[in-house]
Amino acid sequence: TLFLDEVGEMPMQTQIKLLRVLEDRKIARLGNNEEISLNVRLVAATNADLLEMVKNGTFRQDLYYRLSVVKIELPPLRERRGDIPLLTDHFLKELSSQYHKPYDGVSRAARRALMSYDWPGNIRQLKNAAERMLVLDTDGILDLDDLPEEIVPVSGPDGDSSYTSDRSGADFLIGRPFSEVERYYIERALDLADGKREEAAKMLGIGERTLYRKLKEYQKQREEQV
């Protein structure tokens, strides 16, 4: 089996040669006129609209029909967001083994950012993002500050776009009202505790009842803003 990736970027001269190989099922080594018979299965992939390229004259029509005997269309990642967490976990497990670097999990905030992003580079871009998260992580929890800048949401807890997307440490909270700083750390603790209020309260050094009261306040604020 021979796999040709991004076949839509193939120059016209190469398209002619490939078509000849597919029709004759023969090749000749460079510098040798002797033809060798082939028994090969060809799989081609592209992000381009080949039919549109055929209309524009940038892709050969005869080659298009030769290649599209069995056609499988895979929707872009933004149209199957349910696959994002599964693929992220799969890539992280592979990369963790490759780099010999264990991790404890992905925060809810980071998962939300991954789910919200449109992924123009599809699965390849997601894998690169997962690799960056793992390599940059220092505390075992893969969080927003481990994500590429273009993926991290730029708004703060209340949708304030003046928040910066640079989340190295908590420097972006300097100069913010104390109530926003407090809310950030409460939500961060809940992320790290995977939503468990008792564990989050221990991290924050406050009682679970106090944490519950704060969460009720935030919920009320959100309802008033709607």
Residue whose tokens read 């060809």? 42
Segment (H or E) for 141: strand 141-142
- Which part of the chain has CATH 1.10.8.60? 77-153
CB 172 within 8 A of CB 166: yes
User: Given this model, what pLDDT does residue 42 score?
Assistant: 92
CATH number of 77-153: 1.10.8.60
CB 200 within 8 A of CB 194: no
| pTM of this structure | 0.55
- Which part of the chain has CATH 1.10.10.60? 170-226
Task: Show contacts of 66-75: CB within 8 Å, 24+ apart.
Answer: 66/19, 66/22, 66/23, 67/7, 67/22, 67/42
Which CATH superfamily is 2-67 part of? P-loop containing nucleotide triphosphate hydrolases (3.40.50.300)
Pick the CATH number of 170-226 from 3.40.50.280, 3.30.450.40, 3.40.190.10, 1.10.10.60: 1.10.10.60
C-alpha dist (Å) from residue 136 to 133, 140, 144, 206: 5, 10, 11, 30
Residue 196: φ, ψ to 5°: -80, 115
CB 153 within 8 A of CB 113: yes
- Which part of the chain has CATH 3.40.50.300? 2-67
User: Given this model, what pLDDT does residue 129 score?
Assistant: 93
Low-confidence ranges of the chain (pLDDT < 70): 153-176, 225-226
pLDDT tens digit string along 156-185?
Answer: 444 443 344 444 445 555 666 777 778 877
Cβ partners under 8 Å of residue 146, min gap 6: 110, 132, 133, 134, 136, 137
Give dist(CA 45, CA 67) in Å, integer: 10
**Up-side HSE of residue 14: CA atoms within 13 Å toward CB?**
7
